[in-house]
Amino acid sequence: MAERKETGRMKKSAVIIRVLKYLLDYKGLLVIAAALTVLSNFLALVAPELSGRAIDAIVDVGNVNFNTVYLYAGLMIFFYAVSALLSYILAIVMINLSRKVVYKMRKQVFNHLSDLPVGYFDKNQTGDIISRLSYDVDTVNASLSNDLMQICAGVITVLGSMIMMLKIAPILTLIFVFTVPALIFFTKYRVKKVKPLFKARSAELGRLNGYAEEMLSGQKTIRAYGKEEQMIARFDKHNNDAIEAYYKADYHGSVVGPSVNFINNLSLSLISMFGALLYLTGRVSLGNLSSFILYSRKFSGPINETANIISEIQSATSAAERIFRLLDEKPEDLTNEGKTPIGDFKDEVKIDRVNFGYSPELQVLKDISVTIPASSTVALVGPTGSGKTTIINLLMRFYDPDSGEIRIDGKNTKNAPLTNVRSKFTMVLQDTWLFGGTIAENISYGCDREVSREEIENVAKIVGMHSYIKSLPDGYDTVIDENGVNISKGQKQLLANARALLLSNPILILDEATSNVDSNTEKRLQESMKKIMEGKTCFVVAHRLSTVRSADVILVMQSGKIIESGSHDELMKIENGFYRSLYNSQFETA
Mean pLDDT rounded to a whole number for the chain? 80
Q: Looking at the predicted structure, is the pLDDT value of residue 148 above 90?
A: no
Distances in Å between the alpha carbon of 360 and those of 101, 162, 223, 363, 391? 40, 61, 37, 7, 17
CA neighbor of 8 nearest in space, from 330, 325, 331: 325
- Read off the amino acid at residue 219: Q
- Using a 10 angstrom Cβ sphere, with 0-12 exposed, 13-18 middle and 19 or more buried, the burial of residue 273 is exposed
Model pLDDT for residues 422-450, shown as the tens digit of each residue: 888 888 777 677 777 888 888 888 777 78
Q: Answer positive or negative: Cα dihedral of 445, 447, 449, 455.
A: negative
Q: Looking at the predicted structure, is the pLDDT value of residue 73 above 80?
A: yes
* Percent of the chain whose pLDDT exceeds 90: 8
Q: Looking at residue 424, what DSSP letter applies?
A: T
Model pLDDT for residues 385-424, shown as the tens digit of each residue: 888 889 998 998 888 899 999 999 989 998 888 888 888 8
pLDDT band at 4 (very low <50, low <70, confident <90, very high): very low
pLDDT band at 551 (very low <50, low <70, confident <90, very high): confident
Give the residue, 452 or 260, on which the prediction is more confident.
Answer: 452
- 40, 87 in Cβ contact below 8 A? yes
- Read off the amino acid at residue 383: P
- Boundaries of every domain in the chain: 12-327
Model pLDDT for residues 46-67, shown as the tens digit of each residue: 888 888 888 777 765 556 677 7
Q: Where are the alpha helices (DSSP H) in 255-309?
A: 256-280, 286-308
Q: How many Å apart are CA 244 and CA 324, to the nearest integer?
A: 25
- Read off the amino acid at residue 437: G
Model pLDDT for residues 330-339, shown as the tens digit of each residue: 888 777 666 8
Q: Among 80-94, 223-237, 551-565, name the one with the lowest average pLDDT.
A: 223-237
Model pLDDT for residues 119-138, shown as the tens digit of each residue: 888 888 777 888 888 888 88
Q: How many Å apart are CA 457 and CA 468, to the nearest integer?
A: 12
Q: Which long-range CB contacts under 8 A does 449-455 form with residues at least 24 apart?
A: 451/502, 455/502
Model pLDDT for residues 211-238, shown as the tens digit of each residue: 777 776 666 667 665 667 777 888 888 8
- 170, 177 in Cβ contact below 8 A? no
Give the residue, 122 or 571, on which the prediction is more confident.
Answer: 571
User: Is 1.20.1560.10 the CATH number for 12-327?
Assistant: yes
Which residues, other chains included, contact 327 with Cβ-Cβ below 8 Å and sequence gap of 6+? 108, 109, 112
What is the reported pLDDT for 3?
Answer: 44
Which residues, other chains included, contact 476 with Cβ-Cβ below 8 Å and sequence gap of 6+? 438, 439, 440, 443, 453, 456, 457, 460, 469
- 566, 379 in Cβ contact below 8 A? no
- 154, 274 in Cβ contact below 8 A? no
